[in-house]
Amino acid sequence: MFKRHEKDVLGQIDTLIGRSAKVQGDVEFAGGLHVDGRITGNVRATAGVPASLSVSEHGVVEGSVEAQNVVLNGRINGDIFGSGRVVLGAKARALLNARTHVSAEDIRTLAAPVLRHRILVNYRAEAEGTNVDTVIRRLLETVGEPGAT
């Protein structure tokens, strides 16, 4: 019933720019591009071809990016154009707020969108009025913040 389309390349990596690599100039790609290194220039997917760009927490793009799907855990110093979806990880959220670390607030903010589709409640829980968001809220309350006693 729920199948990924064959053209969905979100998890596929065709091209890797490694952590120690530095690319000067614009990059055009098709399929999946994963950036662990640094690109100084714009990154653009080939028009009309399914494409996904993922930037790791170590990755940096000094320019604009344009792709069907963009998953950001690192830094992009330019505009982001995602025609399908743009996903910001906790590290990207921290960088957007001028911090070099992920805060407990970042985790709380992203917990429900990240976990909501991964948790199923059984019939008994539903009958008792417990939904997925309640489970996530209780989980966050139970785990608590690092360093808190």
pLDDT per position as a tens digit, 10-68: 568 889 999 999 999 999 999 999 999 999 999 999 988 889 999 998 999 999 999 99
Highest average pLDDT, of 63-67, 73-77, 103-107, comes from 63-67
Q: Which of 74, 145, 70 is nearest to 111 (CA)?
A: 145
Reading the block at residue 113, the tokens are 């969108």
In terms of pLDDT, which residue wins out, 80 or 7? Answer: 80
User: Which residue type does 44 have?
Assistant: R
Question: Environment class of residue 41 by beta-carbon count within 10 Å: exposed (0-12), middle (13-18) or buried (19+)?
Answer: middle
Give the integer Cα–Cα distance in Å for 139 and 57: 26
Is the confidence at residue 3, as pLDDT, over 50? no
pLDDT score at 2: 44
Give the integer Cα–Cα distance in Å for 94 and 105: 10
What's the whole-number average pLDDT of the chain? Answer: 84
Burial 79-95 (b: 16+ CB within 10 A, else e): ebebeeebbbbbbbbbb
Q: Which of 93, 85, 78 is nearest to 26 (CA)?
A: 78
**pLDDT band, very low/low/confident/very high, at 82 (cuts 50, 70, 90):** confident
